[in-house]
Amino acid sequence: MSKNQIIEVQHIKVSITAFNGEDYICITDMAQAKSDASRAADVIKNWIRTRTALEFLGTWEKIYNPDFKVVEFDHFKSQAGLNSFAMTPKK
């Protein structure tokens, strides 16, 4: 069962969800602080298309996801940072 709490960081409310003994921070809340709520998705998309963010996410998946598809990830990673590369949370 998940449990939510809210912390305040530099006057910004950020949700934290506890699930199976792990805490997950809401990056949407942080993105809304960077821009307005209607542009939060764009902030996240721009962040996850960077090479460093993609490498971080790939490392996390390799450690915690036994079903992670490394070959498919390598395709995304080789495209990261290019102007033509678009990444979304669903990919």
Please return the burial class of 50, using the count of CB atoms within 10 Å of its CB with bins 0-12, 13-18 and 19+. middle
How much is the pTM? 0.61
The CA dihedral of 46, 47, 50, 53, to the nearest 10 degrees, is -160
With a cut of 60, say whether residue 1 has pLDDT above it: no
Mean pLDDT of the chain: 82
With a cut of 80, say whether residue 3 has pLDDT above it: no
Q: What is the pLDDT of residues 12-45, one digit of tens each?
A: 889 999 888 888 888 888 888 876 767 888 888 8
Q: What is the pLDDT of residues 39-81, one digit of tens each?
A: 888 888 888 778 888 889 889 999 999 999 999 888 877 877 7
Which amino acid is residue 75, in one-letter code?
H
